[in-house]
C-alpha cells in the first residue's frame, strides 16, 4: 500500500509540476506582451514629445524669419525713400507728379515693428518700438 501511495504521490507531484511549468510559461508570455505594449506606448509618447518640441522650434524659427523679413522690407523702403527725398530736395517749389507719388507711397508704407522674445513674459514697460 505504501508503494501505491508513493506512486500516487509521485504522479500527483509530477502533474502539479507540469501544471506549474505551464502556468509559468503562460505568465512569461503575458509579461513579455505587457513589456512590448509598454515599450510601444513609451515610444509613441516620446515621439509625441519630440514632435511637439520640433513644432515649437519650427514656430519659433518661423517667427524669427517673419521678423527678419519685416526688417528687410523696412530697410528696403528706407533705401527706396532716400533717392525720393534727394529728388524732393532738388525739386522746384511747384514739385512734379512723380515726386509727389513717391512721397504718397512712402507715407502709406510706414509702420511700427515690435520685436519681442517668445520665452520672456510680456511686460509693456519694457517694450521698445522702432
List the domain boundaries for the chain: 2-116
pTM for the full predicted model = 0.39
95: left (phi over 0), alpha (psi -120 to 50) or beta: left
* Pick from 54-63, 71-80, 110-119: least confident: 110-119
Q: What is the pLDDT of residues 7-65, one digit of tens each?
A: 888 888 888 888 999 999 999 999 999 999 998 888 888 888 888 888 888 888 888 88
CB 101 within 8 A of CB 84: no
Length of the chain measured in residues: 130
Q: What percent of the chain is modeled with pLDDT above 70?
A: 65
Amino acid at each position: 500500500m505504501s508503494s501505491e501511495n508513493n506512486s500516487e504521490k509521485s504522479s500527483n507531484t509530477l502533474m502539479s509540476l507540469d501544471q506549474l511549468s505551464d502556468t509559468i510559461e503562460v505568465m512569461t508570455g503575458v509579461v513579455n506582451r505587457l513589456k512590448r505594449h509598454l515599450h510601444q506606448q513609451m515610444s509613441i509618447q516620446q515621439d509625441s514629445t519630440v514632435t511637439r518640441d520640433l513644432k515649437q522650434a519650427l514656430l519659433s524659427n518661423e517667427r524669427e524669419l517673419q521678423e527678419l523679413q519685416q526688417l528687410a522690407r523696412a530697410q528696403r523702403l528706407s533705401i527706396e525713400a532716400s533717392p525720393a527725398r534727394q529728388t524732393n530736395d532738388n525739386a522746384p517749389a511747384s514739385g512734379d507728379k512723380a515726386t509727389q507719388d513717391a512721397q504718397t507711397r512712402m507715407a502709406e508704407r510706414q509702420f511700427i515693428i515690435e520685436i519681442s522674445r517668445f520665452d520672456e513674459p510680456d511686460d509693456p514697460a519694457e517694450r521698445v518700438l522702432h
